[in-house]
Chain A
């Protein structure tokens, strides 16, 4: 069964540094998402992306965050200047094949630790 893959599985970064989290969505999907889960808290929506632009973003997704689909397969989340409170598990998801809508399928996540 096709999968969403995320790399790296764990990223450790110094506060203030830039970090890029990478995702390869399911190949025929058209809608892409990032969520995060701070330890012990709910999974929270960050941003959705369709047709090469952001379709919705949450209050969390401020100017420090950006997303990009640099080629036909990758979907990235960049945090420009990381803060301690950015430490969380970040999940990528994708949905929506051609001619039909589908539920969101998630990757295994990237654990981001900010020191």
Chain B
């Protein structure tokens, strides 16, 4: 079945860039997503990318997709304390209407 993997922890100094990585196994993945979960809150959709794209930029967020290696990354420029959260990578074979398969989540800690 599908599997999505992420490293569990990342610590970054305030003002630096954060890069959160994700690998997936399902070659039929069509859409890949990044969700953010702050303490006690739900899953907030940050951004998503279609599998025929290599890169997507949205303000401080840059998503890179290497479809050959099945590797997805999320870069957060100028990381702020408000970026502290758990970041989940997720994939689906169909845009929005089929189940999401989530990674383990990466806990991002900002060092002042």
Q: Do A and B actually bind?
A: yes
Please, how many angstroms separate the alpha-carbon atoms of A50 and B104 in the complex?
27
B48 engages A103 (CB within 8 Å): yes
Instruction: Using known A-B contacts A103-B48, A108-B41, determine if residue A56 contacts B96 with beta carbons closer than 8 Å.
Output: no
A2-45 at interface with B (beta carbon < 8 Å)? 4, 6, 31, 33, 35, 42-45
A104 engages B102 (CB within 8 Å): no
A104 engages B104 (CB within 8 Å): no
Instruction: Using known A-B contacts A43-B43, A91-B42, A109-B42, determine if residue A104 contacts B103 with beta carbons closer than 8 Å.
Output: no
The answer, yes or no, to whether A106 is at the interface (CB within 8 Å) is yes
The answer, yes or no, to whether B10 is at the interface (CB within 8 Å) is no
Please, how many angstroms separate the alpha-carbon atoms of A7 and B44 in the complex?
18
Point out the residues of chain B lying under 8 angstroms from A103, CB to CB.
31, 33, 45, 48, 95-96
Residue count of chain B within 8 Å CB distance of chain A? 24
A91 engages B43 (CB within 8 Å): yes
Please, how many angstroms separate the alpha-carbon atoms of A31 and B35 in the complex?
19
Point out the residues of chain A lying under 8 angstroms from B33, CB to CB.
103
A106 engages B43 (CB within 8 Å): yes
Binding site for A on B (CB under 8 A): 31, 33, 35, 40-45, 48, 88, 90, 94-105
Binding site for B on A (CB under 8 A): 4, 6, 31, 33, 35, 42-45, 48, 50, 56, 58, 91, 93, 95-96, 101-109
